[in-house]
Structure 1
Amino acid sequence: MPNVETVPPDREASWLKKLGPGLITGAADDDPSGIATYSQAGAQFGFNMLWTVLFTYPLMVGIQVVSARIGRVSGHGLATNIRRHYPAWLLYSVVGLLLIANTINIAADVSAMGEALKLIVGGPAQLYAVAFGVISLVLQVFIPYRRYVRILKWLTLALLAYVATAFVVHIPWSRVLVSALAPHMSWKPEYITTVVAVFGTTISPYLFFWQASQEVEDQLADPRAQPLIRAPHQAKANLRRIKIDTYVGMGFSNLVAFFIILTTAVTLNLHGITDIQTSAQAATALRPIAGEFAFLLFSAGIIGTGLLAIPVLAGSSAYAMAGAFEWKNSLERTPMRAKQFYGIIAISTVIGIALGFTSIDPIKALYWSAVINGVISVPIMVVMMLMAVRPEIMGKFVITPKLRVMGWLATLMMAAAVAAMLLTL
């Protein structure tokens, strides 16, 4: 196993090619459900919601770096580490609620993608939703991880549609800057509820499970790599890569969220359209105000982000279940060598598609999914922070004091957000 210092300079310089778990995790955070939340924030409260994505960025980076380091250092995902070191009731409660929340989120996302394609070309939205769900499932099951992760990386470019959309319309940048840095706050229940929704959308439990597991996948895909607790000489390059990857990925995520809020604020809010429930509604409302090109960009972005997010939602459920029940798991394995793992991916996706054909209100379902995500995020974050300082899990790579502060601040913020959310119920 070569020492880090012996790695050739050209390989060391290729860190840009190694962007993966952090970039994909951050981009998947802006799924169609997230787009709906950010659109509602911008439509209802205009520029006064821009501060939320600036505020959450360092906290999001902190907690995602913690999850990534746990995976890369220990060589195991979050669920496996929880199973090994914490009570069974905590593990099964968290994993069960995560599975429910992710499945509801998949249902909302495939429905939004179907509606978006219907807006662009016409036709049956439900049929399109089925097609998108099946395509996503087939790609996950039959394409090996190393090839599939390249597809996911390219799909992150779909999010640039929301940056481009903002430049199609006129934006008063001086007013935007003032509002973003010195917003007009409100203590009205609807304002607090929207802030909580943005926080909950930005910091979600499925992101923790996914990024930790992807670090494990990347390590297993490289025959030279080992968990850092067993190969400390590999730590310098890998911890630096995790830091860069996560800063870039979360920055990309929050930049896109910023522009979605900005676009809907400068168009919908300023024209008195303040009630947006879905991403497809946001696209429809943009059409007469911002024009056909902005409408097409916004709608196409919904489809692209959905194709990126569904595998992350289904995959994080599968990793969590596999870790909880000691199943073989990896997107690099064939379906026959990891039947239960791929079975969870298939079941989550199929149930998500099927929910679109029921009488369940997708808006209410998504709301309760957000409630579940908010409730389980706090104990998961607490457990992650406790794991990250345990030498039996992290060896000599326990997290630094700076990272502890960032992680605990993110945890306290989410706890406060959940408390506020429960009060507004």
Structure 2
Amino acid sequence: MHKTAKWRALGVAIAAASLITAACSESSSPSTENVPVVKTWKIASIQTGLTVTGKITAAEEIQVVPKVSGRIASVAVQEGAAVNQGDVLVTLEASDYQDQINQAEAAIAGAQARLREAKAGTRTQQLEQLAGTVEQAEASYQVAQNNYNRMKALFDSGALSQAELERTQLELEKARTGLNQARAQYDLAKEGPTADSVAALEAEVSRLNATLDMAKNGYANTVITAPISGVVAKRNADPGELAAAGAPLMVLVKMDQVKVEASVPEGQINQFSPGTVVDVRVASAGGRTWKGEVEFVSPVSDPNTSSFPVKIRLDNEDGSLRAGMVAEVSLQGDANEGVKVPSAAIVTKDGKQYIYTVDGNVVHEAEVSVSQMESDWATVTAGVSENDQLVINPTDQLSEGSRVIAN
């Protein structure tokens, strides 16, 4: 019994020691139940001057379209190919246009022959032939006249009926008409073509020459060449397909220079003007910075955003910039020197402005200088550093040294 009691007392002592150790351990570990969770925003970099965001676009982008319709005979390039101005891109079947050329040339040859004949006038042999025709018509008329005279004498003596006299008179009129026509043809041939008839034939030749020029232009337009030097960004043409006049076959882009298209707020637009040199930083291109030049500042704001479109041109000889990349455009100047931070990170106390930063899980309070405060963004000129993690919408419970959980 004595030994059992001894072991029981030892077990109680060990259990008590364990409870004391656990209690000490729990009391030595800080509790996280009352540590607030805060939303933070990180300053990526400190830049002076105005900074706006835009997108890279090609310096030139042209849709290659055919002037004529036709079936595609061949396509000389693939997507991504570099081409020079004047290089053949697409060839259309040209047999129909060649037939049009042949028809126009034949029509011109016929019209020119008629014009030469008109200008040359009637040949001597033709005039002699027409003169003979006149003589025959005169003889026929004289015979008809003599016959009528005899019949008229018989009619007057009552030996001939009225019907027979009228038939003889009709023959005389026919002979007179034939004579007049023969003389008119002879006179016309002898005088030659009129100025109006020659002018009409010359106009016909001119019209047919214009038709030939149109046919030749159509034939030439079956070969489609590159309007600029650049890269084939898109191809919509394959041999055997039908190409419609005006429908894009390819898209060419010129990428040795590129543009940045950005929007500038109304308050800063007057700091931009054509020729202004700016810094262009592209994060997806390794964070490199290029020098660019403002080439266009819109005089009209975007009705949806009230900001003004601006275009900046910069060199891209190594091809590292691609259309669609996001770029930061920085304009150096003293008027807006500072860094943009969310306005919700600024706290005003006793006439001064502060921010709260998080280092690890500890809050630090810092006074800042604000040059411009807008609804969403503030320009801070002093008191912040690169990579600072700012607390958004800090509460009155935060102070120097407070512990938080950054989100």
TM-score, structure 1 normalization: 0.17
User: Relative contact order: is structure 1 or structure 2 higher (C-alpha 8 Å, sep ≥ 6)?
Assistant: 1
Bigger proportion of residues as helix:
1
Larger Rg: 2
User: Normalized per residue, which structure has more strand?
Assistant: 2
